Amino acid sequence: MTRFVSASAMAVSPAELIVMSLALGAFGLFLPGLFGKPPIFGAVLGLGLAVLPWWRVAKRRSERIERIERQFPEALDLMGRSMRAGHAFPSAVKMVADEMPDPLGRDFRILFDEMNYGVPTTEALVHLAERVPVPDVSYFVVAVMIQRESGGNLAELLDSIAKIVRDRLRLLGEVRTLSAEGKLSAYILTALPFAVALLVNLVNPGFMSVLWTDPMGHRMVGIALFMMLMGILWMRNIIRIRV
């Protein structure tokens, strides 16, 4: 949980997120009851509000990881050129930290500061992989650690990793383009029941009133929402292709 939150680079701790989730969930749970609505509304609203802080952190984390993935090939090229010019590995890291914008520049500045203040290079690289949960960064860390133990041309190794990362990002772009139709279908199928229910309730409010007034209607709404949640997760797994 701590790594998940730290990967978003937000100034918030897991404990603060838990407190916010509990407070928002309790607020949403009791709010519909003040207006005489059935408990099912409070359960749905409370769950939605409780998830909201974590959704925000997950969104920021995803955006940050996406920016780092786009920046990383450039950083590898910069390190390779600097090492061909005769710079040592720490100097190449410092060059990336100075030249690359955030968020990748920030993480490389932390990496350079740790190495500069006496943290072993292997340990500092492991910290980098923990802060940046990107597979390409993990491959880079493992490659550098192996090269430091066995020797070899690190500049050529970095060029090879940069080429692999660019090819993966190109393939990922094609996959996202091909899966865009599936995502649109998932959004429409998710919103369609709510839109139809709202339209029917506006045209003929008495037609759906049994869902809010009868205990059996409450159970039907709960079962329908649960099945919709399972369907959303299923569609998400179908259209989410990892490259």
Tens-digit pLDDT profile for residues 193-211 = 888 888 887 788 777 777 7
Q: Are residues 150 and 84 in the same domain?
A: yes
**Lowest-pLDDT choice from 23-37, 66-80, 134-148:** 23-37
Residue at 27 is within a domain: no
| 159 shares a domain with 124 | yes
What pLDDT is stored for residue 28 in this prediction?
87
Q: How many domains does the chain have?
A: 2
Q: Please give the pLDDT value at position 180.
A: 79
Domain boundary among 111, 133, 167: 167
Do 158 and 112 belong together in one domain?
yes
The Cα–Cα gap between 93 and 91 comes to 5
Rounded to two decimals, the pTM is 0.74
Same domain for 193 and 146: no
Convert the pLDDT of each residue in 72-98 to its tens digit. Answer: 999 999 999 999 888 889 999 999 999
Q: What's the alpha-carbon Rg for the chain, to the nearest Å? A: 25
208 lies in the same domain as 156: no
Asked if the structure places residue 47 within a domain, the reply is: no
Using a pLDDT cut of 70, give the percent of the chain over it: 97
- Domain span at 138: 67-167
Q: Is the pLDDT of residue 111 over 70?
A: yes
Residue 157 belongs to a domain: yes
* Residue 147 sits in the same domain as residue 188: no
Residue 215, preceding peptide bond in cis (omega within 30° of 0): no
